[in-house]
Structure 1
Amino acid sequence: MEFQIPEKVQYIIDTLVDHGFEAYAVGGCVRDMILGKNPEDWDITTSAKPFEVKKVFKRTVDTGIEHGTVTVLLDKDHYEVTTYRLDGIYEDNRRPKEVSFTSSLEEDLKRRDFTINAMAYNPQLGIVDLFGGVKDLKNRLIRCVGNPMERFDEDALRILRAVRFSAQLDFQIEEATKLAIKEKAGLLKNISAERIRMELTKLLVSDNPDRLRLLYELGISKVILPEFDRMMTTPQKNIHHAYSVGEHTIKAVSAVAGSVSENRFSARERTILRWTMLLHDIEKPSTITLGKDGQNHFYGHQEKGAATAKRILKELKFDNDTLNAVVHLVKWHDYRFDLTPKGMRKAAAKIGKEYMDLLFEVNYADTCGKNPETNKDKFKKLEEAKALYKEIIEKNECVSLRDLKVSGKDLIEAGFKPGKSMGIILNRLLETVIADPSLNHKESLIDLARSWKDN
């Protein structure tokens, strides 16, 4: 097989070869080339030692020199060049205590996680595939290099990476690798929250987030998200539902934000929406009751779920922006829209204009995971809500204090004293304008405020 690689990658490989060293593109970029995708990152492996790489190229940065990695700078681009290496003893199920360099490409490839990531490519020599990576790509399999038990003992994050690659590539996990995951899943307790967050997010935003089910089946979620296990075993005996809480959640996650290629939402919004659907019913297991009607009910699961979502996202070290958005949407995910213009203005005022389009998407996905025999009316009501809200936006009607044509400063200039009472007045004016948008004029609002003051 022959592939077109970027000019600068070719230059680095050629330069190293011209100086008497071996050099190859390696890992994920080779996998992606074989799959016909454009690699996002290009990693280069070489027999040259780090100090030799630094001698060959004018501009370098010691990004991970103790592990053999030097970053080569070419114009504004940078490429990681890593010396063939052998990993020493792994003491923390994540990183080797020490590494040693080798002149053998085979030894370097042997230490990698999966066969599909353990291939190298050199334009002159072609693909180096010592462990059946090409065959596994053809058969759509995730398989560990060598003994899977050893690979997971070395780096437990590989357990989660196996499921993530399965979701991203729509591949199956090979049976021996699966068995090793079940055996070694407990090692994930040694992995940092940041790493787990990154892998879970990549899984969630992929086109196959239903691979969440594998987390449960292979004993992974029991270690990193035990709440998900409880959802998987909680039934929903209710006319609106046809699946357990967990299966409903998986269907809702799969339905939200569409496929990656549709590009309907930004990367940030996609992350928010997928995490919202994963966590939206997280507290249903703890709030389940059986009513006199013989139906399961989950009173208060929204507020309780928002608190739990906040705790989980904090533990996973999410940024505040994402955390706050997910928690907010979990809290309001079950909001019942009053299908009138006033009702939709109230909803926007309560929930926030910046969240309305996301909430509509949450509502749609939530409905997709419910009973197909009873959800037609729910979809119809959602479309009505969206149409009413669209009209409000087109008319530029007031739904927040920012939209109000009078401000605290205006009231002070009109003789009102600053303080708590002014906040009460502004909120009362907002309620008035939400009820009747035609009143949103500075002079009439000040007159109205004065009439309240006089009374």
Structure 2
Amino acid sequence: MNLPSDVVEFMTTIEESGYQCYLVGGAVRDFLSDKKPKDYDFTTNATPEQVEEIFEKTIRTGIEFGTITVIFKGKPYEITTFRLEHRYSDGRRPDRVFYSDSLKEDLSRRDFTINAIALDKDQNVHDFFNGQIDLQNKVVRAIGRAKVRFKEDKLRKMRAVRIACENGYDIDQDIKSAIKVDPSLEGVSMERISIELIRIIQSHQYARGVRLLFTYDLLMEIFPCLYEIILNMENKKKYYDTLKPAQRDLYLRFYLMLKPLNNTEAIEKALRRLKVKKKIIRYVTMMSEYDRIEDIESLIALVTKAKEEDLEKMLLLDEYKRKNDECTGFVKDCREGKRAMKVTDLEINGKIAQEMGLQREEIGRAFEQLLKRTMKNPQQNNEEDLRKMLEEMTRNS
């Protein structure tokens, strides 16, 4: 496996300007594991200002920490100057950074040994902390003492779980002990926590990820109500087993994880606390409502406020549950356009209703009634039957 030509050219451009440049982080980990990296991050002894002089288009994404983004051949590459860091008062970011001229010093500040390996443009490996050994043994291990690394940035606790679940790695005992002693994520923004949690949920070992978050008490920091419920479960294994067969759909997996909260309002509250995107809240709560439907009347009320994508999520939940009942058939009909879902799907319009003597304020209520009837009996969604129903409503009003 070779580095992409654009990446080599990017590194060569910096070296020809008189500076060092190395590929670092997850890209190196992936490359050495024969996986295609999703993105590429670099480190250099050039200062951000010197990097700006080399390239035409740059963005000062984290200039205070020595980081800028270079747009090279239409692709964004993040590059950071060799640096050392001084104290993390807030448990999130360093109070001060100092530029360094040493690659080893720069790598020493990183979180895990497998993330502290550097690669030059000729694919020579620079590994000062035995990261390759841990990579071969599939172990997530901290550089130095784990509790010190976690004190610097508390989110590293979740990152350890995420990397382990994405790659099928074990977690070193020092990391386990450090998290168990102090699982706090205090001071870390919910936005940063949600990014790591979503990646855990989307990983190959989703069920294991949820179990590890509970075991190390991190779930108590993220979803305290869910943590308490799992804590009191007589059969925790049964809960984890329900997560294992879940398709790799973020929304379904989120719902199954939060299902023990046992009502839609509690699930929505938990998601809002996490500050996830509105789309996640919509789909997950829609699944929750659908999972509690007991009759067609309730389903009609739910479907009338649904969009086509919501129907797909309902059917995905049924597929997971291996359910194929009357409600499933109803939702399939709606998705395939065999049942009216909205007033605008009716084969009659407001002008006809006015001609039949209905006042404007009456038409809305009348059409809602027509929609409910035709959802139950889709064959009645034709102008003749709808006229008859309107006439009946007019006589009874």
Residue 230 of structure 1 is matched in structure 2 by 228
Superposition deviation, residue 345 in structure 1: 7.1
Within the alignment, does 1:313 sit opposite 2:257 as a pair? no
Q: Which moved more, 1:144-153 or 1:443-452?
A: 443-452
Superposition deviation, residue 343 in structure 1: 10
Superposition deviation, residue 234 in structure 1: 3.3
Alpha-carbon distance in structure 2 between the residues aligned to 1:410 and 1:30:
68
Closer, same or farther: CA 26–88 of 1 in aligned 2, 3 Å: same
Map 1:275-424 to 2 at 5 A. Answer: 275-282=254-261, 301=262, 305-336=263-294, 348-349=303-304, 354-365=309-320, 367=321, 379=322, 381-382=323-324, 386=328, 389-390=331-332, 394=336, 396-408=338-350, 410-412=352-354, 414-419=356-361, 421-424=362-365
Task: Encode CA deviations 1:90-123: one digit per residue, 9 max, x unaligned.
Answer: 1100100111100000010011111111111013
Superposition deviation, residue 276 in structure 1: 1.2
Q: SS in structure 1 opposite 2:217?
A: coil
The amino acid that maps onto 1:70 is: I
Alpha-carbon distance in structure 1 between the residues aligned to 2:67 and 2:335:
53
Map 1:49-60 to 2 at 5 A. Answer: 49-60=47-58
Closer, same or farther: CA 153–392 of 1 in aligned 2, 3 Å: closer
Superposition deviation, residue 353 in structure 1: 5.4
Out of 187, 197, 201, which is 2:198 matched to? 201
The amino acid that maps onto 1:423 is: G
Residue 192 of structure 1 is matched in structure 2 by 189
RMSD: 2.5
Q: SS in structure 2 opposite 1:48?
A: coil
Q: Which moved more, 1:36-45 or 1:401-410?
A: 401-410
Q: SS in structure 1 opposite 2:43?
A: strand
The amino acid that maps onto 2:59 is: V
Alpha-carbon distance in structure 1 between the residues aligned to 2:286 and 2:107:
46
Number of corresponding residues:
395
Map 1:190-269 to 2 at 5 A. Answer: 190-210=187-207, 211-235=209-233, 243-244=235-236, 247-258=237-248
Task: Encode CA deviations 1:359-408: one digit per residue, 9 max, x unaligned.
Answer: 2332454x4xxxxxxxxxxx4x5377646654665572334434322244
Alpha-carbon distance in structure 2 between the residues aligned to 1:137 and 1:402:
58
Segments of structure 1 that go 5 or more residues without pairing to the other structure are 237-242, 259-269, 283-300, 368-378
Within the alignment, does 1:273 sit opposite 2:235 as a pair? no
Residue 77 of structure 1 is matched in structure 2 by 75
Alpha-carbon distance in structure 2 between the residues aligned to 1:408 and 1:279:
43
Residue 367 of structure 2 is matched in structure 1 by 426
Q: In the alignment, is the contact (CA less than 8 A) between 1:209 and 1:250 conserved in 2?
A: no
Q: In the alignment, is the contact (CA less than 8 A) between 2:343 and 2:371 conserved in 1?
A: yes
Closer, same or farther: CA 108–413 of 1 in aligned 2, 3 Å: farther
Map 1:106-145 to 2 at 5 A. Answer: 106-124=104-122, 126-145=124-143
Alpha-carbon distance in structure 2 between the residues aligned to 1:306 and 1:348:
16
Alpha-carbon distance in structure 1 between the residues aligned to 2:334 and 2:221:
46
The amino acid that maps onto 1:440 is: N
Segments of structure 2 that go 5 or more residues without pairing to the other structure are none
Closer, same or farther: CA 235–82 of 1 in aligned 2, 3 Å: closer
Superposition deviation, residue 233 in structure 1: 2.9
Alpha-carbon distance in structure 2 between the residues aligned to 1:137 and 1:33:
11
Closer, same or farther: CA 345–233 of 1 in aligned 2, 3 Å: same
Q: In the alignment, is the contact (CA less than 8 A) between 1:346 and 1:399 conserved in 2?
A: no
Identity of aligned residues (%): 30
Closer, same or farther: CA 407–232 of 1 in aligned 2, 3 Å: same
Within the alignment, does 1:438 sit opposite 2:372 as a pair? no
Closer, same or farther: CA 442–249 of 1 in aligned 2, 3 Å: farther
Superposition deviation, residue 42 in structure 1: 0.6
Alpha-carbon distance in structure 2 between the residues aligned to 1:96 and 1:413:
73
Closer, same or farther: CA 12–394 of 1 in aligned 2, 3 Å: closer
Q: In the alignment, is the contact (CA less than 8 A) between 1:118 and 1:131 conserved in 2?
A: yes
Q: SS in structure 1 opposite 2:324?
A: helix
Q: SS in structure 1 opposite 2:122?
A: coil
Closer, same or farther: CA 207–146 of 1 in aligned 2, 3 Å: same
Alpha-carbon distance in structure 2 between the residues aligned to 1:41 and 1:147:
28
Alpha-carbon distance in structure 2 between the residues aligned to 1:134 and 1:451:
79
Closer, same or farther: CA 36–358 of 1 in aligned 2, 3 Å: same
Q: In the alignment, is the contact (CA less than 8 A) between 1:68 and 1:82 conserved in 2?
A: yes
Alpha-carbon distance in structure 1 between the residues aligned to 2:219 and 2:281:
20
Residue 62 of structure 1 is matched in structure 2 by 60
Alpha-carbon distance in structure 2 between the residues aligned to 1:388 and 1:311:
29
Closer, same or farther: CA 53–382 of 1 in aligned 2, 3 Å: same
Alpha-carbon distance in structure 1 between the residues aligned to 2:123 and 2:281:
48
Q: In the alignment, is the contact (CA less than 8 A) between 2:108 and 2:116 conserved in 1?
A: yes
Superposition deviation, residue 70 in structure 1: 2.1
Q: In the alignment, is the contact (CA less than 8 A) between 1:256 and 1:364 conserved in 2?
A: no
Closer, same or farther: CA 354–12 of 1 in aligned 2, 3 Å: closer
Superposition deviation, residue 220 in structure 1: 1.1
